[in-house]
Amino acid sequence: MNEDYLPLAYLNAWEYCPRRFYLEYVLGEMSDNEHIILGRHIHRNINEEGTLQEGEMLIHQQQWVWSDRLKVAGIIDAVEECDGQLVPMEYKKGKMAQHLNRTLA
């Protein structure tokens, strides 16, 4: 990744909780709790690169994405492809919240 690009994980963390972002990414104070451990366990099934087909839809897992215009880059959980449309996806544990990062439950 270009070192001038902001990692996508930073944007997601900031949108979720600016205080937590500061503790984890600025101060380096990361700790696991039951929610993080369970989320990792559930997430393990989608952490492998590959392409699956569900009906007419292709699901490209673990995709590297970037924007030269926005200067952001990172790996996302999946990109769904159907009828020429590409939809980026991030999977999270729990209910969908009303955040700008729009994740799936």
Per-residue pLDDT of the chain (105 residues; tens, 9 = 90+): 578 898 888 887 888 889 988 988 889 888 888 877 887 777 676 667 889 899 999 999 988 989 999 999 998 888 999 999 999 887 766 665 555 544 443
Sequence ranges of the domains in the chain: 6-89
Q: What is the pLDDT of residue 104?
A: 44
| Amino acid at residue number 63 | Q
CA-closest candidate to residue 67, choices 14, 15, 2, 22? 2
Distances (CA, A) of 38 to 19, 55, 93, 94, 103: 22, 30, 8, 11, 17
Q: What is the pLDDT of residue 12?
A: 78
Bridge partners of 52, per DSSP, are: 59
